[in-house]
Amino acid sequence: MDGNMKVQLGKLVSNTTIIKDGVDLKRRFYDVLENHPLTYHWSEGVKSMISMKFYNEVMKDSTK
Protein backbone atom coordinates (compact mmCIF):
# COMPACT_ATOMS: atom_id res chain seq x y z
CA MET A 1 0.00 0.00 0.00
CA ASP A 2 1.40 3.39 -0.97
CA GLY A 3 -0.36 5.41 1.75
CA ASN A 4 -2.73 7.12 -0.67
CA MET A 5 -6.42 6.46 -0.15
CA LYS A 6 -8.22 5.37 -3.30
CA VAL A 7 -11.83 6.60 -3.28
CA GLN A 8 -14.40 5.38 -5.78
CA LEU A 9 -17.72 7.06 -6.41
CA GLY A 10 -20.56 5.14 -4.79
CA LYS A 11 -18.32 3.23 -2.34
CA LEU A 12 -18.44 3.80 1.41
CA VAL A 13 -15.23 5.20 2.88
CA SER A 14 -14.69 5.10 6.63
CA ASN A 15 -11.72 6.21 8.71
CA THR A 16 -11.34 5.54 12.42
CA THR A 17 -8.87 6.98 14.86
CA ILE A 18 -8.66 5.67 18.41
CA ILE A 19 -7.65 8.26 20.99
CA LYS A 20 -6.32 6.98 24.30
CA ASP A 21 -7.89 8.08 27.57
CA GLY A 22 -6.10 11.05 29.07
CA VAL A 23 -5.02 12.61 25.77
CA ASP A 24 -5.73 16.34 25.85
CA LEU A 25 -6.86 17.02 22.29
CA LYS A 26 -7.47 20.71 22.90
CA ARG A 27 -3.85 21.09 24.05
CA ARG A 28 -2.56 19.08 21.10
CA PHE A 29 -4.51 21.21 18.64
CA TYR A 30 -3.22 24.35 20.36
CA ASP A 31 0.37 23.05 20.14
CA VAL A 32 -0.02 22.50 16.39
CA LEU A 33 -1.12 26.13 15.97
CA GLU A 34 1.59 27.35 18.36
CA ASN A 35 4.35 25.63 16.39
CA HIS A 36 3.19 26.27 12.83
CA PRO A 37 5.11 29.00 10.98
CA LEU A 38 1.94 30.54 9.51
CA THR A 39 0.32 30.99 12.94
CA TYR A 40 3.23 32.38 15.00
CA HIS A 41 1.77 35.88 14.94
CA TRP A 42 -1.77 34.82 15.99
CA SER A 43 -2.93 35.82 19.44
CA GLU A 44 -3.32 33.30 22.27
CA GLY A 45 -7.09 33.89 22.20
CA VAL A 46 -7.38 33.09 18.51
CA LYS A 47 -5.31 29.90 18.90
CA SER A 48 -7.44 28.85 21.87
CA MET A 49 -10.68 29.51 20.00
CA ILE A 50 -9.58 27.58 16.91
CA SER A 51 -8.32 24.71 19.08
CA MET A 52 -11.72 24.53 20.75
CA LYS A 53 -13.47 24.53 17.37
CA PHE A 54 -11.22 21.67 16.14
CA TYR A 55 -11.96 19.75 19.36
CA ASN A 56 -15.72 20.29 19.02
CA GLU A 57 -15.68 19.05 15.42
CA VAL A 58 -13.80 15.88 16.40
CA MET A 59 -16.04 15.20 19.39
CA LYS A 60 -19.20 15.77 17.33
CA ASP A 61 -18.38 12.61 15.37
CA SER A 62 -17.23 10.53 18.35
CA THR A 63 -19.30 7.86 19.97
CA LYS A 64 -20.55 8.51 23.45
Q: How confident is the model at residue 62 (pLDDT cuts 50, 70, 90)?
A: confident
Q: What mean pLDDT do residues 5-29 have?
A: 80
CA distances from 63 to 15, 25, 58, 60 (A): 14, 16, 10, 8
Is 1 a residue whose pLDDT tops 70? no
Provide the mean pLDDT of the chain.
Answer: 84
Is 47 a residue whose pLDDT tops 90? yes
Prediction pTM value? 0.65
Q: What is the pLDDT of residue 10?
A: 78
